[in-house]
Amino acid sequence: MIGFASPLAFLLLPLPLLAMRLLPGREAVTGALLIPESIGRGLAEGARDGLHVRIRRAVPILLWLALVVALAGPQRLEPVEALPVSGRDMVLAIDLSGSMEQEDFTLDGRTVSRLEAVKAVGKRFVAGRAGDRVGLVLFAENAYVAAPLTFDVAAVSRAIDEVTIGISGRSTAIAGGLGVALKRLEKGDARSRVVILLSDGADTSGNVLPADVARLAKRLGITVYTIALGPEDRETRPNDPDAVDTATLKMIAETSGGRSFRVKSTGDLATVTAAIDGLEASGLDRPPATIRRDYWIWPALAALGCAVFLVVSRRAL
């Protein structure tokens, strides 16, 4: 919709005519506003003496009209779709230990590694979090931030896509990964702060106990959802070093006020992320926002062109 920022500026349109009627001649003017004679003549006299003269008399009128329109500030207001805003900060903490290379998941009819399944489902999950700030923490022997908290969910999806095993060691420091995730969230002022921790092993690295980090999450008011990956767990195969420690992951989730999920297939993983999506639903849509596009520059340029024409034509006489 086209409108004007200062429509009262159009009250200036009759100013040259009023000035011609009310102001005395140039000889008697002392300190008053001088209105160019060319504008007054153009407004007062009809067109005569040929096309060139008529143009020279019309240009001052066009100049004044263009100036007034520029002062009025023509603009166009365009509605744009606003992102939903949830006030939620969310960090994905993904296990990159060596066991994530095991190919016991399926994706689109292919057998893939656990990491490939996590990446595929994780990217879909992140893509649906418009309006949330999402971050990514990767952990194995060490933990680091792969993507800081951001509204740019596409950037986080790209970071997930670039994840490879071995860049942070091959053992599993669950407590360390969770600790780094909490560090990213502890100073935030979002109304809801969430960690989604995915692991297929047990805490085999680091000097911090998972129980201590879980209590820290509770003290900070940060909810932790844990996802235990893989077909085997410590309860059924206690001597298997690659079996997931479901008991520890469940303890972390319950201590912080979250939930723990068991995943043995890609289908389970998609179901779990959908469940978390429901528990931490994205924010309500805001009404469309409005952006303003200003067009005052065009009448201003037209006025400048008229002024240049008057100067050039006067010198030519």
* Predicted local distance difference test score (pLDDT) of residue 48: 47
* Predicted local distance difference test score (pLDDT) of residue 283: 54
- Within a 10 A sphere around the Cβ of 126, how many other Cβ atoms? 24
Residue 223: pLDDT band with limits 50, 70, 90: very high
Residue 215, pLDDT > 90, answer: yes
CA distance 259 to 249: 9
Q: What is the mean pLDDT of residues 237-246?
A: 68
Residue 307, pLDDT > 60, answer: yes
* 43-52, 88-97, 158-167: the lowest-pLDDT one: 43-52
E strands of 213-254, at which residues?
223-229
Q: To which residue do tokens 């520059």 refer?
A: 297
* Predicted local distance difference test score (pLDDT) of residue 257: 94
Pairing of strands 88-95, 133-139: parallel
202 exposure class (CB count in 10 Å sphere: 0-12, 13-18, 19+): buried
pLDDT digits 0-9 by tens, 54-73? 787 888 899 999 999 999 99
Residue 281: pLDDT band with limits 50, 70, 90: low
Give the 3-state secondary structure percentages of the chain, helix then strand then coil, rounded to 5.
Answer: 45, 20, 35
- DSSP assignment, residue 162? T
Q: What is the mean pLDDT of the chain?
A: 82
* 36-40, 44-48, 97-101, 275-279: the lowest-pLDDT one: 44-48
* Predicted local distance difference test score (pLDDT) of residue 135: 95
* Predicted local distance difference test score (pLDDT) of residue 29: 46
CA distance 114 to 228: 11
Residue 47: pLDDT band with limits 50, 70, 90: very low
Domains of the chain (ranges; CATH) run: 2-78+290-316 (no CATH), 88-279 (3.40.50.410)
Statement: the pTM of the whole predicted model exceeds 0.85: no
* 113-127, 149-163, 239-253: the lowest-pLDDT one: 239-253
204 exposure class (CB count in 10 Å sphere: 0-12, 13-18, 19+): middle
Helix/strand/coil for 10: helix
Q: What is the mean pLDDT of residues 217-240?
A: 79
- Within a 10 A sphere around the Cβ of 7, how many other Cβ atoms? 11
* Predicted local distance difference test score (pLDDT) of residue 238: 56
CA distance 265 to 103: 11
* Predicted local distance difference test score (pLDDT) of residue 212: 94
When mean pLDDT is compared over 33-47, 144-158, 167-181, the highest value belongs to 144-158
Name which of 289, 287, 285 is nearest 78 in CA terms.
289
Residue 139, pLDDT > 50, answer: yes
* Predicted local distance difference test score (pLDDT) of residue 28: 46
- The more confidently predicted of residues 82 and 97 is 97
* Predicted local distance difference test score (pLDDT) of residue 58: 87
* Predicted local distance difference test score (pLDDT) of residue 235: 57
Q: Quick one: how far is CA 113 from the chain centroid?
A: 32
In b/e form, how buried is each residue of 84-104, taking b as 16+ CB within 10 angstroms?
Answer: eebebbbbbbbbbbbbbebeb
Residue 42, pLDDT > 90, answer: no
Residue 237, pLDDT > 60, answer: no
* Predicted local distance difference test score (pLDDT) of residue 86: 59
259 and 114 in contact (C-beta within 8 Å)?
no
Share of the chain above pLDDT 90, in %: 36
pLDDT digits 0-9 by tens, 245-258? 888 999 999 999 99
